[in-house]
Amino acid sequence: MGRSDLITGNVWEQYSNKVIERMNNPKYLGEFSEEDAKKRGAKLVVADFGSEACGDSVRLYWLIDPKTDKIIDARFKSFGCGTAIASSDMMTELTIGKTVDEATKITNLDVEKALRDEPDKPAFPPQKMHCSVMAYDVILEAAAKYEGKDVKELKNSEIVCECARVTRGEIEQIVREHNVKTIEELQKYTDAGTYCKSCVAPGGHEERDVYLVDIIKEVQEEMQKEKLNEANETEDFEKLSFIKKIKAIEEFLDKKIKPMLAMDGGSLELVDVRENGENINVYVRYLGACSMCASSQVTLQAIEEELKKHFKTEKIKLLQI
Amino acid sequence: MVYLDNNSTTPLDEEVKKIYCESNKYFGNINVIYDLGIEARKKLNEAYDILYPGIGANDEDDIIITSSTTEGNNTVIKTFLNEFIKGNGKKHIITTIAEHSSIKAPCAYAKTFGMEVTYLRSDENGRVNPKDVENAIREDTALISVLFASNESGAIQPIKKISEIAKKYNIPFHCDGAQAIGKVKVNVRDLGVDYFTFSAHKFHGPKGIGGLYVRKGAPFINLIHGGNQMGGKRGGSIYLNGIIAMAEALKKANENLDYMNTEIMRLRDKLEDAILKIPDTKTYVDKKYRLPNSLIASFKGIEGEAMLWDLNIHKIYAATGSSCSSERLEGSEVLESLGEDPEIAHTGIIFSLSRFTTEKEIDYVIEVLPKIVKRLRDISLTYAKVKPK
């Protein structure tokens, strides 16, 4: 919240001049017929996409050169508001000159960005992003028709935010890397969920199979589980691989033993760890005050006890070099 | 400019504006005992002399001055929420899907405390069936709240019949009257309601001032606690020039009722006839159940906000119930319930006239509309010839 949120209803004044211009005079409005296609030696593809949730839909017409798969011309028809018309117009323009395969890479965000007057200022307010920008879906429908495939084959099912086209994998990675716990934290690292917001949580503009809040929760739970597993591994020292045993011992010496010795001006270093039958021999060298200490042998025994206690095993032997 | 969104808000009447500005000189606090207070109280009394008969209230009833219908509606719903929280066991509210958010939102809030709300659906004329109200009544029903008329559909509800049912079961009855004053004669005692709420800006008065009628003996708990203003029922310094202006606006609204129901209704009908001459258009709600100033039409194939956009270019201002309308993103239940055609929720345009609407303005709209419809249908997918295979 804050000052800008206190004034509601501002939609139209946030439209870029390009949006306004294309709403008032769409450049690629129209249709192609089979005759048009024949005249230009092209294949006609007509595809629809409509979002029932908000009553917008778009129809895309492509003339494709069958030799090169290149879209030589395109038109659209739209049922929708001003932004739907303007963004359909821009989307249509962006597909012209591309191959069908290249066109499928166009994102809703690409269309929105192309409609900006200034690179850093959105072309329209975020709530319009979902309803009005249907580029990704209708292009996929058209491409599927041309290639004779099911649209599901082309669709990346992993996409969770259709506006910014962010995949589940990307979200999971961000959550892991930055230990993200909330949507606000997540959105420091990604545009996902900042446009139409449908993918953030249930109850938004449109129903989704998976929501960002669920992904954060699931990944956090996984991370918790992994942490627990690590802890379990520590408890089950004897089952650890040899290298992990060495690492665990070294970590324990660094974190627990050295600070204690340091209080008396001493230290030790880990020289070697060797498997001796069932036993683990740990070789250390005293440093500093310890090397001259009269009670160093007693200390060695005490450290061994600490090791045995921490790793819950009797099989560790501590040896001084 | 042609302003046809009067169900949303209305321009200030010039004479009301004059009185509003002049009355600023009565700045004295209404509670003080010296002369300035005496003068202010006299002026408040004069305003009440207009307000009470203006809506048909008895002097033993209260007309509590509020900031808006929204405040009045909140006060009523939360009175019953508070009674419920205190433990009266009455947890059920009956209302309708046609209500304004100032009823729906407090009801949703009340539900978070364990209250239950029944939303009655309206018929193809946008009206609630009184039998449905009766059937919804339970042992623990605390309140029935039905709006006088819908700002979207313009449908006038059978308030008197519903109030008879409420009385039969001894359940308090509230009517949101935001759309009533200035369009139809309002007499709260005749209607038999226990609460009636209104805003001055809907009948050419200023914004930020309204009224909450409370029939004598009806339950009441403050929404705003504060000073002893309004008999201690609504704290906050009295907005005297607002009240004086509201009284004047009410007087003029009542004086112009005949004009509204003859001349303005004629203009509305003229516009409606012209719209229906455009192919693939429809209007909704039988005129005999509709506010005299209101008209809702759908233009096949044209999404509501796109229509508003083009009307705006021609400086014609109307409203939409469309899913993409500026303030609301979900489809309109009220409009959806009006007909067999689900498109209405996306293509419905609401034109609402006022007593200041002129024939010249309506003629201009009639001239411009077919051009707008043509341009937008040229864009429309609905009218495209080549379809996907």
What local confidence, expressed as pLDDT, does residue B323 receive?
44
User: In angstroms, rounded to a whole number, what is the distance separating the alpha carbons of residues B344 and B331?
Assistant: 10
Nearest to B385 among A12, A24, A31 (CB): A31
Which of these, A205, A293, A194, A305, lies nearest to A257 by C-alpha position? A305
Query: Cβ B381–A57 below 8 Å, yes or no?
Result: yes
Fold of A238-320: GMP Synthetase; Chain A, domain 3 (3.30.300)
What local confidence, expressed as pLDDT, does residue A109 receive?
85
pLDDT digits (tens, 9 = 90+) for B143-163: 999 999 998 899 999 999 999
Nearest to A46 among B382, B383, B386 (CB): B386
In a mutational test of the A interface, the residue from B310, B324, B383 whose CB has the highest number of chain A CBs within 10 Å is: B324
pLDDT digits (tens, 9 = 90+) for B15-26: 999 999 999 999
What local confidence, expressed as pLDDT, does residue B343 receive?
67
Ordered by start, the domain boundaries in chain A are: 11-155, 158-235, 238-320
A48 vs B contacts (CB less than 8 Å): 381, 388
A26 vs B contacts (CB less than 8 Å): 379
Q: Which residues pair with A91 in a beta bridge?
A: none
What local confidence, expressed as pLDDT, does residue A297 receive?
81
User: B346 — contact with chain A (CB < 8 Å)?
Assistant: yes
pLDDT digits (tens, 9 = 90+) for A126-144: 778 766 778 888 999 999 9
pLDDT digits (tens, 9 = 90+) for A223-236: 888 888 776 656 67
What local confidence, expressed as pLDDT, does residue A298 receive?
82
Give me the catalytic one of A81, A131, A290, A293: A131
Which of these, A35, A84, A82, A41, lies nearest to A60 by C-alpha position? A84
Do the two domains A11-155 and A158-235 of this chain adopt the same fold?
no
**Nearest CA distance, A141 vs chain B (angstrom):** 10
| Single-letter code of the amino acid located at B371 | K
More confident residue, A101 or B333: A101
Among the four given CATH numbers 3.30.70.20, 3.40.50.1000, 3.90.1010.10, 3.40.50.300, the one describing domain A11-155: 3.90.1010.10
Which of these, B371, B346, B353, lies nearest to B278 by C-alpha position? B371
pLDDT digits (tens, 9 = 90+) for A177-202: 888 999 888 888 888 887 777 888 88
What number is the average pLDDT over the span B69-90? 97
Residue B204 exposure: Cα atoms within 13 Å on the Cβ side: 23
Q: What domains sit in chain B, N to C, each tagged with a CATH number? A: 14-255 (3.40.640.10), 257-379 (3.90.1150.10)
* DSSP assignment letter at A263: T
3-class SS letters over A110-138: HHHHHCCCCCCCCCCCCHHHHHHCCHHHH
User: B329 — contact with chain A (CB < 8 Å)?
Assistant: yes
Which of these, A107, A114, A36, lies nearest to A75 by C-alpha position? A36
Residue B375 CB neighbours (<10 A): 15
Reported as a pLDDT band with limits 50, 70 and 90, residue A52 is: low
Query: Cβ A59–B384 below 8 Å, yes or no?
Result: yes
Q: Show which of residues 97-116 on chain A sit within 8 Å of chain B, judged by CB atoms.
A: none
Is A293 a catalytic site residue?
A: no
Q: Which own/partner pairs from A150-153 qualify as long-range (CB within 8 Å, at least 24 positions apart)?
A: none
Residue A85 region by backbone torsions, left for phi larger than 0, else alpha for psi between -120 and 50, else beta: alpha
Of the candidate ranges A298-312, B78-92, B368-382, the one whose mean pLDDT is the lowest: A298-312
Reported as a pLDDT band with limits 50, 70 and 90, residue B31 is: confident
Of the candidate ranges A80-84, B251-255, B351-355, the one whose mean pLDDT is the lowest: A80-84
Cβ atoms of B113 and B85 closer than 8 Å: yes
Query: Cβ B327–A57 below 8 Å, yes or no?
Result: no
Residue A29 region by backbone torsions, left for phi larger than 0, else alpha for psi between -120 and 50, else beta: beta
- pTM recorded for the entire structure: 0.79
CA angle B81, B83, B86 (to 5 degrees): 110
What number is the average pLDDT over the span B223-245? 95
What local confidence, expressed as pLDDT, does residue B324 receive?
44
CA separation (Å) from A319 to A161, A304, A312, B169? 58, 9, 19, 93
Cβ atoms of B283 and B153 closer than 8 Å: no
Query: Cβ A9–B327 below 8 Å, yes or no?
Result: yes
User: In angstroms, rounded to a whole number, what is the distance separating the alpha carbons of residues A133 and A48?
Assistant: 13
Cβ atoms of B103 and B334 closer than 8 Å: no
What number is the average pLDDT over the span B379-384? 93
What local confidence, expressed as pLDDT, does residue B326 receive?
41
Query: Cβ A85–B306 below 8 Å, yes or no?
Result: yes
Confidence check: pLDDT of B370 > 60: yes
A62 vs B contacts (CB less than 8 Å): none
Cβ atoms of A252 and A260 closer than 8 Å: no
What local confidence, expressed as pLDDT, does residue B375 receive?
97
Query: Cβ B379–A77 below 8 Å, yes or no?
Result: yes
More confident residue, B96 or A248: B96
Cβ atoms of A283 and A272 closer than 8 Å: yes
In sequence order, what DSSP letters do the residues of A2-68 get, joined into one string? -HHHHS----GGG--HHHHHHHHS-SSB----HHHHHHTT-EEEEEEEEETTTTEEEEEEEEEETTT
User: A130 — contact with chain B (CB < 8 Å)?
Assistant: no
Reported as a pLDDT band with limits 50, 70 and 90, residue A1 is: low
More confident residue, A192 or B6: B6
Cβ atoms of B368 and B317 closer than 8 Å: no
**Tokens representing residue A55 in the block:** 């009553």
What is the set of active-site residues of B?
A: 324
Interface predicted TM-score (ipTM) over 0.85? yes
In a mutational test of the B interface, the residue from A54, A81, A87, A145 whose CB has the highest number of chain B CBs within 10 Å is: A81
Of the candidate ranges A129-133, A159-163, B170-174, B380-384, the one whose mean pLDDT is the lowest: A129-133
User: In angstroms, rounded to a whole number, what is the distance separating the alpha carbons of residues A196 and A183?
Assistant: 14
Q: Tell me if residue B40 falls in helix, strand or coil.
A: helix
Confidence check: pLDDT of A157 > 70: no
Query: Cβ A82–B306 below 8 Å, yes or no?
Result: yes
Cβ atoms of B192 and B228 closer than 8 Å: no
Confidence check: pLDDT of B296 > 70: yes
Fold of A158-235: Arc Repressor Mutant, subunit A (1.10.10)
Q: Is A36 exposed, middle or buried (0-12, 13-18, 19+ CB in 10 A)?
A: middle
Averaged pLDDT score across all residues of chain B: 94
Q: Show which of residues 288-317 on chain B sit within 8 Å of chain A, judged by CB atoms.
A: 301-306, 309, 312-313
User: In angstroms, rounded to a whole number, what is the distance separating the alpha carbons of residues B343 and B97?
Assistant: 18
User: In angstroms, rounded to a whole number, what is the distance separating the alpha carbons of residues B274 and A282?
Assistant: 98
Q: Which residues pair with B2 in a beta bridge?
A: B316
User: B67 — contact with chain A (CB < 8 Å)?
Assistant: no
Q: What residues contact A317, with CB distance under 8 A and at least 6 apart?
A: A276, A279, A280, A281, A282, A304
